[in-house]
Amino acid sequence: MSLHPLPKYTPALRGRRVLITGAARGIGAATADLLTAHGARVAVMGLEPDLLAGVAARNNAPWRECDVADPGAVDRAVEDLVTELGGLDVVIANAGIAKQLPLIGGQPGVMEAHLRVNTLGTFYTLRAAGPHISHPSGYALATASLGGAVHVPLLGAYSASKAAVEAIGNTLRQEIRPSGAKVGVAYYSELETDMTERGFATKAGEKLTGGGTVSGVAPIEAGLRALERGIARRSRRITAPAWVAPVVPLRHVAQRVIELKPLPDLEESLEIARTEQIGYTTEQPSTGPATLGSGESA
């Protein structure tokens, strides 16, 4: 991946102290690399300690293995990393999981796992980091998804959890405004990451989409370019790829278009998904049968 330094925006990225969750791989790891290249000082949190340690090493970054669904662990990790950075300017709540779920007859615990990691994990992260970025140059980014705004079959759990992330980001933006800090919400369609590859590599998903994805996979660089601009500008909304930008405000029209699209294999896809045994995007600490095979990525 070849990325050139971005022009000087305000506030500049150089010297920004940035905390990123879900940074062991995928867009979280790539964002850490990118911001370091722009002169930011990053700290990383996530699972998969071997991978996370590698990201930290190449970015000279402090790191903590942390399950974002554990509020006490998040509080401790954030405090430790902020101390090591000497303060905090930007927090990116990026950690998340994905797994298909037919709402009727789907695997028990999948909805709960999404809400625990994607929604509560974002809340715990922003709650812990919020006081530290509550200053005139502070910025928080909640990673939602186009799936949180426009909803398709099999992704009900993911979409519900990401719609809640959007709500958390929009609410925090208002509550934190007196400090001068800003809050953004990120909306990505399918980017070329582990999450997209594993999330659609199912028999049910392939049957539903005809072997592809819902909207086609864009290069991860599209997301990274949007992130570098959005973080530098402390943008209210970050979207990638480019066609997502008009879809988010026109979500109700887009939703209707999707609902009217013929899906001749929908019933068969749902039936396959009810019995198909798949994991989440990466493994994470098991807290019982409901989270077996769950994981964190973005």
Domain boundaries, the chain: 12-275
Residue 196 has pLDDT above 70, yes or no: no
pLDDT band at 209; cut points 50, 70, 90 = confident
What pLDDT is recorded for position 289? 36
Reported as a single tens digit per residue, the pLDDT across 76-94 is 999 999 999 999 999 999 9
pLDDT digits (tens, 9 = 90+) for 239-268: 999 999 999 999 999 999 999 999 888 989
CB 225 within 8 A of CB 245: no
Please count the helices (runs of H) and the strands (runs of E) in the chain. Answer: 12, 7
- Where b means 16+ CB within 10 Å and e means fewer, 85-97 reads beebbbbbbbbbb
Structure tokens at 21: 């969750």
Sorting pLDDT into bands at 50, 70 and 90, what band is 298? very low
CA-to-CA distance for 112 and 116, rounded, in angstroms?
Answer: 6
Under 8 Å between Cβ of 297 and 194: yes
Q: Is the pLDDT of residue 294 over 80?
A: no
Find which of 32-46, 213-227, 263-277 is predicted with most confidence, using mean pLDDT: 32-46
Cross-strand pairs, 187? 239
Residue with tokens 């791989």: 25
Q: 12-275 in CATH: which number?
A: 3.40.50.720
Q: What is the pLDDT of residues 2-37, one digit of tens each?
A: 454 555 544 579 999 999 999 999 999 999 999 999
* pLDDT recorded at residue 167: 98
Give 2 or 238, the one with higher predicted confidence: 238
Q: Is the pLDDT of residue 280 over 90?
A: no
pLDDT at 295: 35
Per-residue CA distances from 50 to 24, 73, 248 (Å) = 8, 19, 36
> Of 36-40, 48-52, 121-125, 281-285, where does mean pLDDT reach its minimum?
281-285
Dihedral sign computed on CA atoms, order 155, 282, 80, 62: negative
Confirm if 244 and 188 have CB atoms less than 8 A apart.
yes
Amino acid at 129: A
pLDDT number for residue 21 = 98
pLDDT score for 286: 64
